[in-house]
Chains A and B, each alone.
Chain A
Amino acid sequence: MAAALHDTPPAPGSGLGGEPISEAEALARLRQTDDQSAQYYAAWWLGRMRSQHPEAVPLLRAALAQRQPRDPAAGVEHNAVARNAARALGKLGDAAAIADLLAALDDDDDGLREAAARALGELRAAEAVSPLRRRLASGPAGAGAPRPDSPRLQEPCEALLEALGEIGVASGEVLAVIEPFTAHDRPLIRSAACRALLQLSGDPRWAEPLLQLLQDPQLQVRRAALMDLGAVGWRPALEPICRTLAENSLKLIALRGLVENGGQHGDDPGPVLTAMDALL
């Protein structure tokens, strides 16, 4: 779910806000290493603008190897530059980045693993299926167990599950690893697992739990289910999406997904467009 929401301006700590800069300026800021907040913004910028400059991917790969401690006072996350570089590499669509992202999938920092998993999903990297599967193999009680010291899980399960769905290798082994997570305690993890299974198998029984999550009492869960149904492009969800209690902005993103990801059966997108018009 979070993938769709990551395309937002840089987090606090970048120190730069959303000022417009040129591509040359972004590349220069990423190349220097003295000011990491400038690098952080530059990495985000190159991904957001889908830079096709030949230096963009090599510089982002170098940035992906950078490590830095967390700085809570300045609002800077652990390995902030590397995480943003991973996110940008996912958007630039260059397979040259896959090997580095696979390495990042084994990093000690779970936030970096999360960003790398999402990027590998966006790149549809079939090479990532085995490592993703391994990370999840211990199931909800292992990879999906809450950490004693933080609200996070042992593994960034949501991102790992979603990446498997995006990559689209629908083997029995992949489905078997994902399925136990449909019974996870946390609704966001159940949503991600159902999304991946629905993408991979097209089996409507995985749509049903997602439709139910659209009525969850928590707004955060309803939002996630909206994004997940949009990512799958599940056209039968049109009416339930329109009825969901959530912001029109998110419903519009979900309906865009129904149009763009849901055209496999040659269904007429007309009713979805009519619904979108009514939400503006």
Chain B
Amino acid sequence: MSSLAAHYFDGARALRHDVTLVLSGGKMKIVGRDVDREVEAQRVRISTRIASTPRWIYLPGGGACVTADNAGVDRLVHERKAQRTLHALESRPAFAAAAVFLVAALFWAIVDSGLPLAAAKVAEHIPLEAESSLGGEALAGMDQFWLQPSQLPLDQQADLSVRLAALAALAGDAPVYRLEFRASPVIGANAFALPSGIIVLTDELVKLAQADEEILAVLAHELGHVRHRHVMRRLLEGSAIALLVAGVTGDVASATSLAAAAPTLVLQTKFSRDNEREADAYGIGLLRKAGIEPRHFGAILARMEAQAPKGPMLPSFLSTHPSTDERKEFSGSR
């Protein structure tokens, strides 16, 4: 005897009818005070089970029944195995606990290697010239606010340019770059890679260096940023992270989406630190090829840090660069 209690709606009017469903001889009967229908059981469509929400039984030719008697429905029809498995996975605490660990592991794998790898692959296919308008604007913007024309003698500039070109030629896979000399009392001793391969070197860094090798070590590091397309990858990774975080927190009301800002920041600074390490490795590899001792890199980093103005101390997970100690150790200067 397969029968169960349900509500019937005819689909044309929002009126509830209490009915009994009876299944016999391949037919489904829907019987109530004002209802008497009989349909082919084969042509009835039953909604898949989700937790203990009521099940809908859609009748051929319109109209539907709904019942909270999930066990009754399951007795009436056999759901496909995939659907039953899905319901089992979604309802047992043990699976939920396992899912927490798997989600954490998967999230870590995506963030730690999957995403940077994918971004690197995609970035390779985007020509460096795509960044040229951005690079030009970035340099113009910095020129306006923080940079002044270089005071270095022209022959010194030419000498450094030639030595960097020779170093880059050794790499074999060296990217197209453009070295720019600038003075910057505001920024102090530093060098940075801008979009489209522009590398800016400050006079202050040249003065701080005790040997040309130290300057070349910093420039080799910047070449690493250009070679590994860190500008483009930062862009791709940032967009992907925004999507990923929105995917997790997107269910909640907008005010809570502030919650998405913190993890995005933490993840982006992690990518930044990873990029610095990658540029360090590239730079040091290049120095070795040129027969320049890598300890020059650690030496100039230490002097730059000692000279830099003391900002507020950031916890390491919010810092854009790895600690100088770590980088010195990497360059073999300890």
A and B held together in a complex: no
Question: Which residues of A does B touch, CB under 8 Å?
Answer: none
Question: Which residues of B does A touch, CB under 8 Å?
Answer: none
